[in-house]
Structures are given as C-alpha cells and as structure tokens.
Structure 1
C-alpha cells in the first residue's frame, strides 16, 4: 500500500488520533513533526496550510482525520501505480 506523509505537531490531540487510525488500518506513514523541524514547517507552509494534522497521499492533501478521503486517496494512488 502507498506511503502517507503526516505533518503533525508535538502536543496535537488530533495528530495522535490520525496516527493511531493509520496504525490501526496498517497504512504505513512517515511523520513530519513541524515542532522539531523548521524544514517540515516550511513544507507545510509551501502547501498553503498552517494547521495540522495534514496527510499527504499522492497529490492529495487531507486536513484532519478524514478516513473516507484517506481511503479514496490510497485507492487513487494504487490505481495509478
């Protein structure tokens, strides 16, 4: 299955929920904590986003915990790849 990138912050309750959801669904992801890396914060800002969590799957940027959009994005990436 395709890898997701999760932009998060250290004390973000919604980020923790999102990461737990991805783990429970066995969806591999790379975490990019904007509190520990200025580079990751700049990447998020370059996308025009200022809040976390944000999940990047393929070309899709999914704000918050949105299981239906995450599943649609994974399916779209799988269909192309």
Structure 2
C-alpha cells in the first residue's frame, strides 16, 4: 500500500506500542518493529534521534511520537472511513 519506509520503536508492556503495531497491520502497512527492551542497539539508535520514549514511529524522515492514529493515517495516506450519515434523520415531516 505504501512505498514509505516505516520503522516503529517499541518496548515491552507498552499498550500504545501495541496499538500502533495493530493499526499498521490492520491497514496492511509494511513496517519494521524495533523493540528497545530486547535490543540495546535499538535503544541507542532512538537516543541518537533524541527520542526517549515509545512508541516512536518513523515514516521516511517524519517522526510520530506516541499513539496518534489520525497523524499516522495522514502521513501514510490511509483513507479515512466515511462517517455514518442517517439521511432519514435529515428529512423533517
């Protein structure tokens, strides 16, 4: 779906990390997950970028910190779902 390079830095016991990974999978976005709890080198990479928390998502050169679903969608160009519109409620008798 996307030609962008997506890297997600995660850590153990991080519910927002799980949300990011789950959404990317749901949207069928290819990504690389780098768990800083299990790999010290990933932790050092993240520190070099002056980021000290997870989740940290890098889409090409753009970084998205935390779980920001709308920003992820916008950056990855994931289509927004149309909102339910009750047309019957719009007609007045």
Q: Which TM class, normalised by the smaller chain length?
A: 0.7 to 0.9
Give TM-score, length-normalised by structure 2. 0.74
Structure number with the higher helix fraction is 1
Separation in 2, partners of 1:3, 1:20:
17
Per the alignment, residue 10 of structure 1 pairs with 12
**Equivalent in the alignment of 1:56:** 58
* Runs (5+) with no aligned partner, structure 1: 76-81
Query: How far apart are residue 13 of structure 1 and its match?
Result: 0.8
Q: Secondary structure at the match of 1:51?
A: coil
Query: Which residue is 1:79 aligned to?
Result: none
Q: Distance in 2 between matches of 1:8 and 1:60?
A: 17
Q: Comparing both chains, which one has the higher relative contact order based on Cα–Cα distances under 8 Å and sequence gaps of 6 or more?
A: 1
Tell me, yes or no, if structure 1 residue 36 matches structure 2 residue 65. Answer: no
Deviation, 1:7, is 0.1
Q: Distance in 1 between matches of 2:16 and 2:75?
A: 20
- 1:26-47 deviation line (CA, Å, top 9, x unaligned): 1111000001111100011011
**CA RMSD, Structure 1 to Structure 2 (Å):** 1.2
Q: Secondary structure at the match of 1:5?
A: strand
